[in-house]
Amino acid sequence: MEKNSYTILIFPGAHGKLRKVQIPYYIGHLVVVVGLLGLIAAVTVAASYARMLWKVANYNNLRSQSAALKTQYRKLENKATVTSAKLDSLQSLAEEVALSYGFGSQRRLRFPLAALNLAAQSNSTLDASYQAALYTFDAMKAAAADSGMGATAMGFRLFSTVSPDALPSIWPVKGEITDGFGDGTDPFSGEEAFHPGIDIAAPSGTPVEATGDGLVVEAGWESGYGNCILIDHGDGITTRYAHLSKILVVVGEQVKRGEVIGAVGMTGRATGPHLHYEVRIHDTPVNPVRFLPG
């Protein structure tokens, strides 16, 4: 008779009873097929898992590169912002000096145009222009020293249309200047940063006064500045008072020179109680010390 099953003999031990198990052919074939399918499935799962691990590693690498590029971009953007602020401030100073001594008309000069004109000149002409400009600057500086005209007076001569009471010419708060105008280092990031104003140290709660008559155009929270007040004095002149603990004015309010508008604090990006004070001309930051007595 043709065999239609597999016979499996089981020897349990020396004292055990021999056992015989018969498995039909179709069961054996089914076991083999299932085993092969399981093996194929295991290989497929392992391959998929390995491919997933590779994709995750590649994604992490791309994310790290993206983060590095973002950091580099932020640094370049910060340097560009600092350079732009420096050029704007230098432009404002050049306008003040030129207008104070009657050179040129009262208009907004643009450095790129001057740069293009200089680039079109030959080396000898460029050197001659530089020497002439340097001589003119030295002569103007000497004239200012001889006449006793300080930086504040030079600045004030530009704004004959503005009421004298509107010019920011008093200290907003009494204290020591702990951080000056211009190049500096961000105390939080440690990177180079342009400081568009001055920091005046004073105890928290010290009254802050408006430095000139004007209209309050901003009074509230501003990123980085914390509680902040912006006053428009007319003819493009604005002053900013930042890191305040209290704001005592509202937008649209007219204030007088010497009027208390807030109190010293350390809101926003501040490491201690102080007043951050800015003077801007047509939104260009200028050194506030040039307008302060003493």
pTM exceeds 0.75 for this model: no
Helix 25-100 to helix 111-119 angle (10° resolution) is 90
Judge whether 234 and 166 are in contact, CB under 8 Å. Answer: yes
pLDDT at 168: 92
Number of neighbouring beta carbons within 10 Å of residue 40: 10
pLDDT tens per residue across span 172-217: 999 999 988 887 777 666 677 788 899 999 999 999 999 999 999 9
Sign of the dihedral through C-alpha 192, 201, 199, 270: positive
Q: What is the pLDDT of residue 249?
A: 96
Domain positions in the chain are 1-78, 110-156, 164-291
Q: Return the higher-pLDDT residue of 186 and 150.
A: 186
Of residues 1 and 280, which shows the higher confidence score?
280
Cα distance between residue 61 and residue 285, in whole Å: 42
Helices (H), the chain: 25-100, 111-119, 123-147, 151-156
Banded pLDDT at 254 (limits 50, 70, 90): very high
pLDDT tens digits for range 44-79: 999 988 889 898 888 888 888 888 888 888 888 877
Are residues 275 and 292 in contact, defined by beta-carbon separation less than 8 angstroms? no
Exposure of 287 by Cβ count < 10 A (0-12 exposed, 13-18 middle, 19+ buried)? Answer: buried
Q: Quick one: average pLDDT of 24-53?
A: 86
- Between residues 278 and 161, which one has the greater pLDDT? 278
Residue 165 DSSP one-character state: G
What's the CATH fold of domain 164-291?
A: Glucose Permease (Domain IIA) (2.70.70)
Maximal C-alpha separation, the chain = 134
More confident residue, 60 or 119: 60
